[in-house]
Amino acid sequence: MIEHHFPVTVYYKDVDQMGIVYYTRYLEYFEMARTECLRSIGLSVTDLEGKGLYLPVSECSLRYHRGARFEDRLDVCSQIATVPRARLTIDYTVTDGAGQTLVTGRTIHAIVNKKGKPIRAPKILLDAIETHLTGEQI
Amino acid sequence: MIEHHFPVTVYYKDVDQMGIVYYTRYLEYFEMARTECLRSIGLSVTDLEGKGLYLPVSECSLRYHRGARFEDRLDVCSQIATVPRARLTIDYTVTDGAGQTLVTGRTIHAIVNKKGKPIRAPKILLDAIETHLTGEQI
Amino acid sequence: MIEHHFPVTVYYKDVDQMGIVYYTRYLEYFEMARTECLRSIGLSVTDLEGKGLYLPVSECSLRYHRGARFEDRLDVCSQIATVPRARLTIDYTVTDGAGQTLVTGRTIHAIVNKKGKPIRAPKILLDAIETHLTGEQI
Amino acid sequence: MIEHHFPVTVYYKDVDQMGIVYYTRYLEYFEMARTECLRSIGLSVTDLEGKGLYLPVSECSLRYHRGARFEDRLDVCSQIATVPRARLTIDYTVTDGAGQTLVTGRTIHAIVNKKGKPIRAPKILLDAIETHLTGEQI
């Protein structure tokens, strides 16, 4: 399992009139978290795109257990459990400072070229993920 | 089936550097669409909240089939198929001007009071949905 | 004066924990309003970009007089008062259903090519604005 | 002068189809930066609101000099130069990793109670700002 932790602080921009984080904002947190998760295993999204490799979200799902509030400090844990074939799957768990789970979610990414046509997961992507999956298992 | 159509035009604010609508924006479109869907059956979200009834999203999921582009004119179709018990489920289909399906999704809403405590679906909500579900079936 | 009215409804996505529209959202309303204002005088932003003409914002300012609330129905009035030379200036007034002014603002746009280099305002832009300015003055 | 530096990384959510940060996003960066600037002088916005003190933006302005791009690492410098009387003024400068100025801006905040009525700047706010302004000048 590749696992990466990303800290997020909740600001006014994130909070709705119920006083809790608006439901779309977690998908922004997920995007930030996975960008840094990929970077942590040597994959810069900018570099991947420069090489003609894009990872648009093809599916996502979220479960909202508890609401986060303004100035809360959250942790977004990203997990990659498998080497992608046609698609890359990433799971997320958002917890608050007390370790309570607030939101869980998943994004599934297509692997496409600049024109949006599906391509086989390239070696650079496979190698980075395989190396880090294997590394942990040893 | 309660069915409601809501038009959305894509603006710069919605589009990312791939030239397609960023994945969170569809959840904003869903929120606009369901607010108007509920209004179309006589339920104002403002009035419901004034009565102490809140409908926070407890789960959502989306499938992205095709990307929408700047200045595209979309239709967001909201569907309510069942009378809510503990939760209200709404399904969405986003299509473009040519009738192609771009995105499908679902939101599941808890029914809570101002403190966030689950409550039974109140009569005003049940009646509005039942009436419109039944109306169509006749 | 070129003047265009654009209706906006306030949704949950727009409102912060003070219960009023978050301050960035008016800049989104302005973007929607000016896109439609330009379209109303025959200028499609998509077409302009297809011709290599971009109008990035180089300056903006806003004054917030009163807060708008969830489900408020607003009018965003865009005004273009002068033919652009190096820059295009657009003024905005947001009013509520009672005609009260909520927010006023201005955006100033550079006129650039795809590489971001300033260019002279092209004939297509000048003609559309001159025609509609003159038309009103007669 | 009270001066505070806040790091921001640009993500996909921030970038438009020109490949640069969409113009509203800097106002979000400003909000994050000033929240942390105030915290750095002992003022928690959550605590202030708990005491019935709100600081809604009454005016703002921005100048966009250069566009920031995906995965750029920016610095948002917030500056408070004067003790507020009726209003609190904060200036911002966004620079990139090479020290180039990308965006400058200002927000002016009303000082109001929960009902939105202007109030005199309370002692807690004045003291925090005076102390830190004076501290630097000695």
Delimit the domains of chain C by residue range.
Answer: 2-131
| Closest chain B residue to the Cα of D23, Cα to Cα | B13
CB contact under 8 A, D70 and A46: yes
**pLDDT: is D103 or A86 the higher one?**
D103
| pLDDT tens track for B48-96 | 999 999 999 999 999 999 999 999 999 999 999 999 989 999 999 999 9
At B2, the amino acid letter reads I
Q: For the domain D2-133, what is the CATH code? A: 3.10.129.10
Please state whether the predicted TM-score (pTM) of the whole model is above 0.80.
Answer: yes
* Residue-level pLDDT, tens digit, chain A, 138 residues: 999 999 999 999 999 999 999 999 999 999 999 999 999 999 999 999 999 999 999 999 999 999 999 999 999 999 999 999 899 999 999 999 999 999 999 999 999 998 889 999 999 999 999 999 976 544
What is the reported pLDDT for B135?
66
Q: Which residues on C lie below 8 Å from D56 (Cβ)?
A: 18, 20, 23, 64, 67
CA–CA separation, D133 and D138 (whole Å): 9
Asked if B96 contacts B72 with a C-beta cutoff of 8 angstroms, the reply is yes
**Contact list, D71 vs chain A (CB under 8 Å):** 35, 44-46
Provide the greatest CA pair distance for chain D: 48
d(CA A5, CA A22): 21
Q: Is A118 exposed, middle or buried (0-12, 13-18, 19+ CB in 10 A)?
A: exposed
Confidence (pLDDT) at B138 = 46
Q: Whole-angstrom Cα distance, residue D89 to residue D36?
A: 15
Confidence of residue D135 (pLDDT cuts 50, 70, 90): low
Residue D14 designated active-site: no
Contact D24 C27 (CB under 8 A): yes
Specify the CATH number for A2-137; select among 3.40.50.11750, 2.70.70.10, 3.20.20.140, 3.10.129.10: 3.10.129.10
- What is the ipTM score, two decimals? 0.94
Q: What single-letter amino acid sits at B126?
A: L
**CATH fourth-level superfamily of C2-131:** Hotdog Thioesterase (3.10.129.10)
Rounded Cα gap, residues C92 and C104, in angstroms: 6
Residues within 8 A of A (CB atoms), B 21-50 only: 23-25, 27-28, 31
In angstroms, the CA C51 to CA C71 distance is 38
Which uninterrupted H or E stretch holds A47? helix A45-50
What does DSSP assign to residue C6? E
- DSSP 8-state code for residue D116: S
Q: What local confidence, expressed as pLDDT, does residue A138 receive?
A: 46
Distance between B97 CA and the closest CA of chain C, angstroms: 16
Residue C32: in which H helix or E strand, if any? helix C25-40
Instruction: With beta carbons under 8 A apart, name residues in chain D contacting B19.
Output: 17
Show residues of chain A in contact with C70, CB under 8 Å: 17
pLDDT for res D21 = 98
Residue D15 touches chain B, beta carbons under 8 Å: yes
The arrangement of strands across the sheet holding B101-110 comes to A2-9, A73-80, A87-95, A101-110, A57-64, B57-64, B101-110, B87-95, B73-80, B2-9
Residue C34: the pLDDT is 98
Within 8 A of B45 by CB-CB distance, chain A residues are none
Interface test with D, best of A10, A46, A49, A71 (most D CBs within 10 A): A71
Is the predicted pLDDT of residue C94 greater than 80, yes or no? Answer: yes
Write down the pLDDT at residue B19: 94
pLDDT number for residue A136 = 56
**Chains contacting D with at least 3 CB pairs below 8 Å?**
A, B, C
CB–CB of A12 and C15 under 8 A? no
Please tell me which residue of chain A has the smallest CA distance to B63: A59
Average pLDDT on C18-40 reads 97
Which letter does DSSP use for residue B121 in this model? P
Model pLDDT, residue D134: 79
The model's confidence at residue D77, banded by pLDDT at 50, 70 and 90, is very high
Residue C56 at interface with chain A, using a CB cutoff of 8 Å: no
What type of residue sits at position D47? Answer: D
Q: Would you say residue C137 has pLDDT above 70?
A: no
Smallest Cα distance from A137 to chain D, Å? 31
The four Cα atoms B68, B69, B70, B71 give a dihedral, to 10 degrees, of -70
Tell me the C-alpha distance between A40 and A20, whole Å.
30
